[in-house]
Amino acid sequence: MKNTETTSGGIARSAATVGVAVLCSRILGLIREQVFAAMFGAGLAYDSFVVAFRIPNLLRDLFGEGALSAAFVTVFADYDTNRGKKDTWRLASNVLTFFAIALSLISLIGIYLAEPVVALLAPDFSLVAGKTALTVQLTRIMLPFLVFISLAAVVMGMLNTQGRFFVPAMASSFFNLGSIIGGVGLAWLMPRFGQPAIVGMACGTLIGGIMQLAVQLPALAATGFRFRPALRLTDPGLVRILLLMAPATIGLSATQINIFINTNFASSCAEGSVSWLNYAFRLVQLPIGLFGVALSIAMMPVLARHAANKDIGAMRGTLASSLNIVFCLTLPATAGLILLADPIIRLIFEHGAFTAADTVATASTLSLYAIGLFAYSANKVLVPAFYAINRTRYPVIASFLAILFNIVIITVTIDRFQHLAIAFSTSCTMLLNFVFLTTVLYWKMGGFNLGRLATGLIKILIATAIMSLWLYLGRMPVTAWLVGNVFQQLVATFSLILSGTLIYGVMLFKLGMPELDDAVARIRSRLSPQN
């Protein structure tokens, strides 16, 4: 019991630290999207940017941040636990050198093949004059982003394993700052050189990727690490990372295939559909980043250490506690996003080139994405557990099942619902993934505390229902303000969000949640005069 409590408290504390940093990043990310919405709205330029950025992003998830980060943390934690610092740092230098070279080669190949890749990803862009050519140009500018962001993910894994969470979590804020400041500055300059303003935003993305890596290097140096360029392809640690990455990359390739399918379908819908989907998904990524990603980052090194020590009991406690925290945070967020989708989108995006019609289209999309929010966040927590117990093939199977369901759902619904079919299908596949992964993990880990999960879930649902009723009724007196000027929208929307959050928190505290009680007890102990 002691291990479980310690683990639960440690993960909650680490997740809270990461959550604060991720909140800063997501807020800056929203500001970045606001800049795009005001400058470009939802149409040719932003559609082209979204598809162009998706290509290095697909490669990043496939070869870099996703598979590489998970595999590297698993091996690095094992080295750090069972070997000396010298071997651990040597492995890190070798990994950084290898992937810097490998990802640079992949980027160069991508630049050369940009035109056929864009034609494959968004074939219907060719129906609009200049849209494919612009997308190809933006793709070539942004592809080197893959190298910097993937190396930043390796450095983040090194820092997390050393117990440093805040700086790497804040690093993505610098990506957004670079994208906003550099991108807007260059967007103003580009038309003077005969280039579209959106080209400046693409250059800003590259600047942001460099900043995300650079800002972590001083913290890495403070851990005692000194980079020694070396390339040893037969290094057992590197080979082990690559072997771990293989099934993970295959599994992630299924996710990327789904994104490819969704982009392909979206490009065949009305102009602006790619933009509406992207704006909505960016917004739903705020709670995913705050809750799912933060918990995943905090949990991954803990699970890796439990696995290195072969402590399955502690792993079960860690997983159950983490899932309870995910449900506690994401279910009310889901309800809030569905009930307040219109005022939230209107407040954040309806400025400049972003129209009222764009608000309606994006808000409907957001509501459908929100349905799968808790499953998406929970999957971020479940997948590292499979790495820790060396059962990486099951997330692969889940991902490929998701492709099948995704194609079926979109094919059946897209003619009638257009881009909304894609958001609906995404949520459905996330829910199916969650059910599959939970079932298999329960079986492979010899069970975990279902009673604790069920009890917590019932309390969360009761508190969420009461909060939802308040939001539904509370909208009526402030309806005029929700569609008024920016100040009125701000006051009305934030009043509803804050009051709903307060009601949910009070109800959950009254009902009693062990994880919430633990967090409150820790806060009280820190504020106690004797401390």
Q: What is the 3-state secondary structure (H, E, C) of 347-360?
A: HHHCCCCCCHHHHH
Give the position of tokens 């939001």.
471
The amino acid sitting at 20 is V
pTM of this prediction exceeds 0.85: no
DSSP label of 269? S
Tokens of 147: 């190298």
Q: CA dihedral defined by 44, 46, 49, 50, rounded to 10 degrees?
A: -110
- Interatomic CA distance for residues 316 and 385, integer angstroms: 9
pLDDT at 401 over 80: yes
Closest CA to 430 of 308, 515, 334: 334
Max alpha carbon distance in the chain (Å)? 71
pLDDT at 206 over 90: yes
Helix axes 85-112, 44-63, angle to 10 degrees: 140
Q: Which residue has the higher pLDDT, 59 or 268?
A: 268
pLDDT at 381 over 80: no
For residue 61, the model assigns a pLDDT of: 67
For residue 224, the model assigns a pLDDT of: 82
For residue 366, the model assigns a pLDDT of: 93
∠ Cα 108 110 116 (to 5°): 140
Rg (CA), the chain: 23
pLDDT band per the 50, 70, 90 thresholds, residue 307: low
Closest CA to 303 of 103, 470, 160: 160
Residue range 112-124, pLDDT digits in tens? 999 999 998 888 8
Most confident residue range from 30-44, 171-185, 247-261, 381-395:
171-185
pLDDT at 144 over 50: yes
pLDDT at 68 over 80: no
pLDDT band per the 50, 70, 90 thresholds, residue 424: very high
Distance (Å) of CA 23 to CA 131, 147, 337:
34, 25, 17
For residue 198, the model assigns a pLDDT of: 94
**Among the residues of 268-372, which ranges form H helices?**
273-287, 294-308, 312-339, 341-349, 356-371
Q: Which of 56-60, 250-254, 384-388 comes out lowest in average pLDDT?
A: 250-254
Q: Do 359 and 270 touch, CB atoms closer than 8 A?
A: no
pLDDT at 506 over 60: yes
Q: What is the DSSP string of 451-489?
A: HHHHHHHHHHHHHHHHHHHHHHHHTGGGHHHHTS-HHHH
For residue 160, the model assigns a pLDDT of: 76
∠ Cα 330 255 159 (to 5°): 65
**Mean pLDDT for the stretch of residues 5-29:** 63
Residue range 273-286, pLDDT digits in tens? 888 888 888 888 77
- Interatomic CA distance for residues 502 and 467, integer angstroms: 9
pLDDT at 355 over 90: no
Residue range 485-500, pLDDT digits in tens? 989 999 999 999 999 9
Helix axes 393-417, 236-267, angle to 10 degrees: 10
Give rounded-to-5 percent helix, strand, coil for the chain. Answer: 85, 0, 15
pLDDT at 6 over 70: no
For residue 345, the model assigns a pLDDT of: 92
Q: Do 359 and 42 touch, CB atoms closer than 8 A?
A: no
Q: Quote the percentage of the chain above a pLDDT of 70.
A: 83
Cα 103 vs. chain centroid, distance in angstroms?
A: 21
**Mean pLDDT for the stretch of residues 193-206:** 93
H/E run at residue 242? helix 236-267
Instruction: Share the mean pLDDT of the chain.
Output: 82
pLDDT at 154 over 70: yes
For residue 490, the model assigns a pLDDT of: 92
∠ Cα 89 79 227 (to 5°): 10
Query: Is the Cα dihedral 144, 146, 151, 152 positive or negative?
Result: positive
For residue 289, the model assigns a pLDDT of: 60
**Mean pLDDT for the stretch of residues 204-224:** 91
Q: Which residue has the higher pLDDT, 428 or 326?
A: 428
